Amino acid sequence: PQGIGSPSVYHAVIVIFLEFFAWGLLTAPTLVVLHETFPKHTFLMNGLIQGVKGLLSFLSAPLIGALSDVWGRKSFLLLTVFFTCAPIPLMKISPWWYFAVISVSGVFAVTFSVVFAYVADITQEHERSMAYGLVSATFAASLVTSPAIGAYLGRVYGDSLVVVLATAIALLDICFILVAVPESLPEKMRPASWGAPISWEQADPFASLKKVGQDSVVLLICITVFLSYLPEAGQYSSFFLYLRQIMGFSSESVAAFIAVLGILSIIAQTIVLSLLMRSIGNKNTILLGLGFQILQLAWYGFGSEPWMMWAAGAVAAMSSITFPAVSALVSRTADADQQGVVQGMITGIRGLCNGLGPALYGFIFYIFHVELNELPMPESPSGGSVVTQYHLQQNSIIPGPPFLFGACSVLLALLVALFIPEHTNLNVRSSNWKKHCGSHGHPHSPQAPGEAKEPLLQDTNV
């Protein structure tokens, strides 16, 4: 079946919303199951699980993107959503299998890659940025409410109901793709046979990274992205576990923290970002975002009270302006036929950080013995969580060592970013990308040489 109506951005938006709403419901139950399954070295195991998933996503995203260019988007939307959501029912069946399947699911956990290609098929060049923004905003919106709903239902009815509900929403998403989502890639764009060869240059995850050193400005931008996103990726993988187990936050408090941070980040990346870009310029906006990130990570590192986490979270929302500002700088300074190449480099580096960051944070937590000896007590009737014991070094000067390491990394990124010129022309050779463009370029993309493949966004980025 071809789906309902003609392909539109709204089809992609619904697919993203349902997938991440299902996972958002499991935020609180996952933190509990993780600590029950790995009572010792909880942060180390969490880092390894998320690190393996991130590295597999980085390696597989270009290949899946290339295959979807040949075989169409709908089948790969179905494949990525199915395997991304496959671990959900295993949470109550077998926690060990649950975490094992999460790690392996990284091979297919690249729904954003296929969704962005879907959007590129059906939008004109001048519409694409707004469409990508709508998809990203939908992702943020799905996580604003779902953790709070999951925490409430888990407290009132038990975690089993939350897992069943999340599984049902994931199945609804799969059914929606089967029944309602039409294929976006025109039939004439696809080869006649399924055995048609794909471009292995396009499927190489390191292809974009090999071009990093060909322009000094590109090198500076990529180093800045690597040093600033490495701690960010690690933070996303472990911070909510840190709040729950070390800072003594209840499930409801963690859900409220996610909601407030999401709303503030949306405001920062829309209203505040546009005001800053107009008033202080592109480069200064990047520097300001990095400054906020240093302050936020240092606050997380030294903070020992819950109110400090809330205050640092507000600063974290302001630090989210860095990557949109970097992308805007690249798009304004790169030539028309270089856009895809340079954006692909930045996306590749972020994908690499998604694997390295969580593992690095877990290892640093392990080195500094930031662990709990006992499980949290059941929540009290008033709704608060009674934690039996904080981590072993409660009197330590640095409660969160990985966050302080992250602050030092971002400080280096800030020093590198100072040398990025405000206006320049980026020049990166893209001959290999042009080869692929001749056979699979989109007809409505006149700038095709640099956009043989759309920049890919890994699911674990966010």
Give the model confidence (pLDDT) of 88-125 as tens digits. 999 888 888 889 888 888 888 778 778 877 887 787 76
Lowest mean per-residue pLDDT among 122-126, 219-223, 276-280, 343-347: 343-347
> Do residues 229 and 287 share a domain?
yes
> Which three-class secondary structure string do you get for 120-168?
HHHCCHHHHHHHHHHHHHHHHHHHHHHHHHHHHHHHHHCHHHHHHHHHH
Helices and strands in the chain, H and E counts: 19, 0
Residues 225 and 115 in one domain: no
Examine the domain organization and report whether 155 and 239 are in the same domain: no
Q: In this structure, what CATH number is given to the domain that contains residue 124?
A: 1.20.1250.20
Asked if residue 237 and residue 175 are part of one domain, the reply reads no
| Confidence label for 390 from pLDDT (cuts 50, 70 and 90) | very low
User: For position 169, what pLDDT does the model report?
Assistant: 95
**Total length of the chain:** 462
Distance of alpha carbon 267 from alpha carbon 289, whole angstroms: 14
Residues 443 and 334: their CA atoms lie apart, in Å, by 22
How do residues 158-204 score in pLDDT, each as one tens digit?
Answer: 889 999 999 999 999 999 998 888 877 766 555 544 555 566 666 67
DSSP labels, 252-274: HHHHHHHHHHHHHHHHIIIIIHH
Co-location of 178 and 253 in the same domain: no
Q: Treating both helix axes as pointing N-terminal to C-terminal, what angle do 306-319 and 282-302 enclose, rounded to 10 degrees?
A: 160
Of 331-345, 356-370, 387-401, the range with the lowest mean pLDDT is: 387-401
In a domain, 345, yes or no: yes
421 DSSP 8-state letter:
-
Same domain, 89 and 131: yes
* Number of C-beta neighbours around residue 397 at 10 A: 10
Question: In 273-368, which ranges are continuous DSSP H helix?
Answer: 273-279, 282-302, 306-319, 322-333, 339-367
**How many domains are there within the chain?**
2
- The reply to whether 157 and 221 lie within a common domain is no
Q: Residue 455 falls within a domain, yes or no? A: no
Q: Higher pLDDT residue, 433 or 419?
A: 419
Would residue 390 count as lying in a domain?
no
Residue with tokens 């709403």: 21
Across residues 245-257, what is the average pLDDT?
Answer: 82
Residues 167 and 234 in one domain: no
The predicted model gives 67-79 an average pLDDT of 82
Global confidence as pTM: 0.73
Judgement on whether residues 165 and 63 belong to the same structural domain of the protein:
yes
What's residue 383's pLDDT? 42
**Final residue of a structural domain among 184, 199, 224:** 184
- Decide which of 169, 184, 199 is a domain's last residue: 184
pLDDT score, position 287:
92
For residue 206, is it within any domain?
no
- For CA atoms 398, 399, 405, 408, the dihedral sign is negative
Residue 382 falls inside a structural domain: no
Domain containing residue 299:
211-370+399-420
Contact predicate 386/96, CB 8 Å: no
**HSE of 419 in the Cβ direction (CA atoms, 13 Å)?**
13
Q: Do the domain assignments include residue 232?
A: yes
Tell me: do 306 and 260 sit in the same domain: yes
Q: Residues 81, 162: one domain?
A: yes
* C-alpha–C-alpha distance, residues 448 and 442, integer Å: 7
Query: Is the residue at 458 inside a domain?
Result: no
Q: Which helix (H) or strand (E) holds 27?
A: helix 27-37
Mean per-residue pLDDT over the chain, rounded: 76
Alpha-carbon distance of 263 to 422, in angstroms, equals 30
- Cα–Cα dist 36/266, whole Å: 34
Tally of CA atoms within 13 A in the half-sphere of 216 that contains its CB: 4
- Which of 4-8, 224-228, 287-291 has the weakest average pLDDT? 4-8
Residue at 322 is within a domain: yes
* pLDDT tens sequence across 301-352: 887 788 888 888 888 888 888 877 887 777 676 665 555 566 667 777 877 8
pLDDT of 400 > 80? The answer is: no
- Confidence label for 242 from pLDDT (cuts 50, 70 and 90): confident
What is the arithmetic mean of pLDDT over 40-62? 84
pLDDT of residue 189: 53
Position 12 pLDDT exceeds 70: yes
Indicate whether 30 and 145 sit together in one domain: yes
